[in-house]
Amino acid sequence: MTLESIQLPVMAKEVTKIVNFTVVDHPAIYNMIMGTPWLNAMQAVPSTYHLGVKFPTPNGVAAIWGC
């Protein structure tokens, strides 16, 4: 059940985008999931195998890696 939607700024390296989040009242195994609107806005290329995402920045290509 969705409680509400909120907009928050998300900073990834030196790029900041306003992202819509849906708030739910339900336990989950993830803190949050960045969906395709965020990936499209960032022009990002995700890799689930490598647990990372790469995207262009004003200073070149940046990467964020998970563990």
C-alpha angle with apex 49: 67 to 42, nearest 5 degrees? Answer: 80
- Going by their DSSP bridges, the two strands 52-57 and 60-65 should be labelled as antiparallel
Residue 10 · residue 23 · CB < 8 Å: no
Alpha carbon distance, N-terminus to C-terminus of the chain: 30
- Whole-model pTM over 0.75: no
- pLDDT for 12 equals 87
Residue 17 · residue 9 · CB < 8 Å: yes
Q: What whole-number distance in Å separates Cα of residue 59 and Cα of residue 4?
A: 36
What does pLDDT average to in each consecutive run of 10 residues of the chain (67 residues)? 88 88 81 75 89 92 89
